[in-house]
Amino acid sequence: MVDLTQLMENEVFMAFASYATIVLSKMMFMSTATAFYRLTRKAFANPEDCTGSGKGENAKKYLRTDDRVERVRRAHLNDLENIVPFLGIGLLYSLSGPDLSMALLHFRLFVGSRIYHTIAYLTPLPQPNRALSFFLGYAVTISMAYRLLRSKLYL
Amino acid sequence: MVDLTQLMENEVFMAFASYATIVLSKMMFMSTATAFYRLTRKAFANPEDCTGSGKGENAKKYLRTDDRVERVRRAHLNDLENIVPFLGIGLLYSLSGPDLSMALLHFRLFVGSRIYHTIAYLTPLPQPNRALSFFLGYAVTISMAYRLLRSKLYL
Amino acid sequence: MVDLTQLMENEVFMAFASYATIVLSKMMFMSTATAFYRLTRKAFANPEDCTGSGKGENAKKYLRTDDRVERVRRAHLNDLENIVPFLGIGLLYSLSGPDLSMALLHFRLFVGSRIYHTIAYLTPLPQPNRALSFFLGYAVTISMAYRLLRSKLYL
């Protein structure tokens, strides 16, 4: 059996592992936030979820959408749409031997921008708070993709 | 050229590869289920998809939502929201040198919980079947994230 | 510190890195397309996004859905649903030591099918253009999953 721990002795890879785990944990928190708002605001998507809030016909009125729930769901989907490229491109970028300080800069900016994006979406803060945090994370991912393709393109 | 097959000789990594492939294949099945219900229930999202079911004005009535289709789509999105963190955190966890039996326990519980979640969502089974299977998969991923960050944090 | 650049000297892995980066960049373009259509068609999902288009009560009329915006969003979600399995299964497949020409065939067909899928969805082209490009990408991913599980299954 091969000792894979050598991969984890690479500092860039360890940094990527840490930041990726943090940003994924943040994304998972959105599921809890959705469940919280669905329960406190009694706004469910499935008939079987309403039975804790009422019986029979009375329960069906909780099959509805709620602004707060929909807002969390949009923030969650936006996370998915942006964290998936970061995971894929970031993993490959980490393996391509970048400079440690440059890699840390990318990871920190991305994770910071996504945390700020969530705060701006859920508060909500006035625009362009959310738009700017979105574009910062976007630009960081594009920058990693550019460096990766420039140095390692193989088609 | 480097022989990467050594990575695949690591038992934890092979186990992760197998379970990740299985749970991703299960997720892909949801696309087929959506297509199946859209076709059998004639409920489409795009005008160009309706032409097989009717002509002209007659076709437009199939541009509608259907409870069954929306249920499959919600199950699919829930899969995405939970399998993406499992893939990212699970991959890094596998590379961090965990105990084989502990890793297998995590992978098996996660894949089992997602398969049961799909059954509970599509049947549908009464709550809390779906909620418990969701939280089991969630807890497994958080447990891997915790072990990873505790042993390898690098910020 | 370990020199990870050896991983990037593996031709299959480099090819995977290149195609994965390209298809993820294409997916990220969908966010820009959504923003473009939301701004030009003045169709927003959040009250705070409308303030650039009008004041007070006047702004609220822009809180609406638009066919064009919804079409881009469906194409984006379909990308997510299909590119996530490709990333996970493709990464593990790349590490399992496949034949280079076979791996390139898989990657090229997948990336080509997703680009054509986006064109077919956004134009829109008549069916079965979109359906066939979807199933081509789907079949490529299943083929990689099958090869991976056949050679490396460990449960």
Contact C10 B22 (CB under 8 A): no
Tokens of residue B146, six digits: 């915790």
What pLDDT, on a 0 to 100 scale, did the predictor assign at position A82? 93
Contact A89 C27 (CB under 8 A): no
B27 residue type, one letter = M
CA A85 – CA A97 distance, rounded (Å): 19
For B128-149, write each residue's pLDDT tens digit. Answer: 888 899 999 999 999 999 988 8
- Mean pLDDT computed over every residue of chain A: 85
What pLDDT, on a 0 to 100 scale, did the predictor assign at position A8? 66
Are B110 and B140 spatial neighbours (Cβ–Cβ below 8 Å)? yes
For B62-94, write each residue's pLDDT tens digit. Answer: 878 888 888 888 999 999 999 999 998 998 888
CB neighbours of C51 closer than 8 A, spacing ≥ 6?
Answer: A126, A127, C59
Cα angle, residue A28 at apex, residues A26 and A31 outer, rounded to 5°? 125
Is residue A7 pLDDT above 80, yes or no?
A: no
| Interface predicted TM-score (ipTM) | 0.84
Confidence of residue C139 (pLDDT cuts 50, 70, 90): very high
Is residue A150 pLDDT above 70, yes or no?
A: yes
Are B62 and B44 spatial neighbours (Cβ–Cβ below 8 Å)? yes
Residue with tokens 């702004």: C59
CA B21 to chain CA centroid, Å, is: 10
Residue with tokens 């690098």: B154
Contact C22 A81 (CB under 8 A): no
Contact A18 B127 (CB under 8 A): no
Cα distance from N-terminal residue to C-terminal residue, chain C: 32
User: Residue B125: its chain A contacts at CB < 8 A?
Assistant: 48
pTM of the entire structure? 0.87
CA A110 – CA A83 distance, rounded (Å): 9
User: Residue A17: its chain B contacts at CB < 8 A?
Assistant: 92, 95-96, 148, 152, 154
Q: Which of B154, B30, B19 is nearest to B81 (CA)?
A: B30
Contact C48 A154 (CB under 8 A): no
For C66-93, write each residue's pLDDT tens digit. Answer: 888 888 889 999 999 999 999 989 988 8
Contact A141 C5 (CB under 8 A): no
Q: b/e per residue, B22-32, with b = 16+ CB within 10 A?
A: bbbbbbbebbe
Q: Which residues of B touch C (CB under 8 A)?
A: 1-5, 7-8, 11, 14-15, 17-22, 24-25, 27-28, 30-31, 45-46, 48-49, 51-52, 76-77, 80, 83-84, 87, 91
Are A103 and A87 spatial neighbours (Cβ–Cβ below 8 Å)? no
